[in-house]
Amino acid sequence: MSNIATEDTPVDEMDYTLTAADRCDSCGAQAYIRATLASGDLLFCAHHGAKFKDKLFPTAIKWHDESSRLNA
């Protein structure tokens, strides 16, 4: 697996799946996005993930996005 974040990496290729216990670091809602940075992980709900993506994605080691589960 590459160490560079991609938007197209399927969930089943990741080392983990987010659960209802994972909460957004910004608002406390259920997290659907995990941004792995050199300094550690950040969890975001779909709203805050979209809000911060442009700023964080370029420097992220991994960008794990399960927000498509909201439309399932």
Tens digit of each residue's pLDDT (9 = 90 or more) over 33-56: 999 999 999 999 999 999 999 999
Confirm whether 45 is domain-assigned: yes
Confirm whether 70 is domain-assigned: no
Confirm whether 6 is domain-assigned: no
Domain span holding position 18: 11-64
pTM: 0.77
Residues paired with 62 in a beta bridge: 36
16 vs 26, residue with greater confidence: 26
Confirm whether 3 is domain-assigned: no
Burial class (CB in 10 A: 0-12, 13-18, 19+), 41: middle
Four-point Cα dihedral 31, 64, 3, 54, nearest 10: -90
Mean pLDDT of 62-70: 94
* Structural domain count of the chain: 1
Burial class (CB in 10 A: 0-12, 13-18, 19+), 12: exposed
Confirm whether 35 is domain-assigned: yes
Confirm whether 1 is domain-assigned: no
